[in-house]
Amino acid sequence: SISIEKNETTDQIKMQKFMNYIDGKWQEPSTGRYIPVINPANGAVLGMVAQSSSADVDQAVAAARKAQKEWRLVPAPERAELLFTVGRLLKENKERLAQTITSEMGKVIEEARGEVQEAIDMAHYMAGEGRRMFGETMPSELRNKFAMSIRVPIGIVGLITPWNFPIAIASWKSLPALVTGNALVWKPSPDTPIVAEAFVRIYEKAGLPKGLINLVQGSGPEAGAAMVEHPGIDLIGFTGSNAVGKKINERAGALLKRTSLEMGGKNAIIVMDDANLDLAVESIIWSGFGTSGQRCTAASRVIVHEAIKQRLEDKLIAAVRQLKLGDGHDEATDIGPVINKAVLEKINKYVRVGIDEGARLLCGGKTAEKVGNGKGFYYEPTIFTDVMPDMTIAKEEIFGPVLSIIGVKDLESAIEVNNNVSFGLSSSIFTSDVNRVFRAIRDLDTGIVYINAGTTGAEIHLPFGGTKETGNGHRDSGVAALDVYTEWRAVYVDFSNTLQRAQIDTNTK
């Protein structure tokens, strides 16, 4: 069995081991060590995940290298057939995968289903790219010479993916990497190894040749660092924290290894005085507290026009009162737990700093200890107001259900406050003035801009990523993803049978 069914008891599954998958074989890690996988809703042990080391990474790279030699020769439309099958299998297994995500990651089941849907959409979209993987043809400067650029695979791609979207983000990276002819070494987060294994089993069932996807389970400092160091890995695709991203960037930079980094956000929703206030409230709640605030797109700041600040606060407090915390498997739950104890403590620390720095707490501000069996990691949806833009809670990514309300007097200051953070992933504005809309589109310094919608809910066929410290200029998903996983090759075909020299005047005479 590869899943944790809703009604299976923890006893039945707790001895299950989640191993590595290398060269088409499920195998023990070289260390022989395993670490427990915890259900954040109730503290139950769901299984044990392999702790890999550099020896496992070595093996995985060797297998990937061998497999990629053949795979790069397979026509892209044929590679794409496999992606269509992956899409179909994801769809057939949607409910089971969603339940697994909720068990090990905690997000509510409706959101888990949405996440699997993102992976399904991505499989079909990237399968389409197999027949469309365009290059360019251009006129040459010279007669009887043909010029074009084509895409070639990078080679061996190392993926390091987070727990918050354990299958969606893995799909954003693995599917374009495979359709463009690369082979993979994938290290998922040790907090979500079960759905990672399930995803690999889907690739296996779809008939992916052995060695093309190698799963190396375990924690970052051991297995992830070994991937970044490995000379046989040509590109590291990473989504995760800024601290880790910076380390990868530094080390990979020294080795001249390619990287595609997607990191944090400090996303804001701007609410102008002409906004549909009820819609803004609903969107703030959804983008701020959905997934317990653990999306890199989550809203964590609300920048509001002073004229409506009080009314917005009243409506937000009323809306928060309606939210039900609990186990995400329960369809009635609005907000599930956060991923683990360390994250819970980090959120609590930020809230204490917010209070110390003089922000006013409107609601929440503490762990919710009485939810379920009392052993889960729940945090009350928290709203601060009268937050100043230079306070810590207004600048740093908290990655939890904590919103900071900042009052402003006009659109100019709203945009300035929005942009005056080190991140630039997503932003949003609620207004009914078309002039304000287009000024926001032009001036909000983020990779994603929403008009009259919250900061979350990016669709997979558009580029996903951000400015400044959010990343290193790359984009996940959309057609932009092809640029991450391919190199451009410029090709000149001279059919003149003479020596034609570019940039030499005589040739054009």
Q: Does 43 bind ligand UN1 (CB under 6 A)?
A: no
Least separation in angstroms between CB 507 and ligand UN1? 52
Task: Report if residue 456 touches ligand UN1, rule: CB under 6 A.
Answer: yes
Q: Is 399 in the site for ligand UN1 (CB under 6 A)?
A: no
Say which residue the tokens 């374009």 belong to: 176
d(CA 217, CA 191) in angstroms, rounded, equals 10
- Give the C-alpha separation, 443 to 454, whole Å: 17
Strand partners, 489: 150
Kindly tell me which of 104 and 118 has the beta carbon lying closer to ligand UN1.
118
Active site residues: 262
Range in contact with ligand UN1 (rule: CB under 6 A) among 79-87, 135-143, 290-298, 399-407: 290-298
What single string gives the DSSP state of each residue in 234-300? -EEEEES-HHHHHHHHHHHHHHT-EEEEE----EEEEE-TTS-HHHHHHHHHHHHHGGGG-STT-EE
Only one of the segments 39-47, 52-60, 435-443, 456-464 lies at the binding site for ligand UN1 (rule: CB under 6 A); that segment is: 456-464
Chain residues 80-139 in contact with ligand UN1, contact rule CB under 6 A: 118
Secondary structure (DSSP) of 303-334: EEEHHHHHHHHHHHHHHHHT--BS-TTSTT-S
Which of residues 440 and 448 has its CB atom nearest to ligand UN1 in the complex? 448
Task: Give the whole-angstrom CA distance, residue 232 versus residue 227.
Answer: 9
Q: How far is the CB of 456 from ligand UN1 (least distance, A)?
A: 3
By C-beta, is 239 or 367 nearer to ligand UN1? 239
**Is 474 a binder of ligand UN1 (CB under 6 A)?**
no
Residue number with CB closer to ligand UN1 (22 or 169): 169
For ligand UN1, give the closer residue by CB, 115 or 197: 115
Binding of residue 297 to ligand UN1 (CB under 6 A): yes
| Structure token digits, residue 428 | 């949003």
Residues binding ligand UN1: number (CB under 6 A): 11
242 belongs to the binding site for ligand UN1 (CB under 6 A): no
In the complex, the smallest distance separating the C-beta of residue 119 from ligand UN1, rounded to whole angstroms, is 11
CA distance 225 to 212: 21
258, 295, 315, 475: residue in contact with ligand UN1 (rule CB under 6 A): 295
> Using the rule CB under 6 A, is 428 a contact of ligand UN1?
no
Which residue from 118, 47, 485 is spatially nearest to 295, judged by alpha carbons? 118
Report residue 166: phi and psi, to 5°: -65, -25
Question: What is the dihedral sign for C-alpha 295, 163, 205, 94?
Answer: negative
Nearer to ligand UN1, 335 or 458 (CB): 458
Question: Does 296 contact ligand UN1 by CB under 6 A?
Answer: yes
Question: E strand or H helix at 160, and its extent?
Answer: strand 156-160
Q: Are 301 and 268 in contact (CB under 8 A)?
A: yes
Least distance to ligand UN1, CB of residue 421, Å: 17
Which residues contribute to the site for ligand UN1 (CB under 6 A)?
A: 118, 164-165, 169, 239, 295-297, 456-458
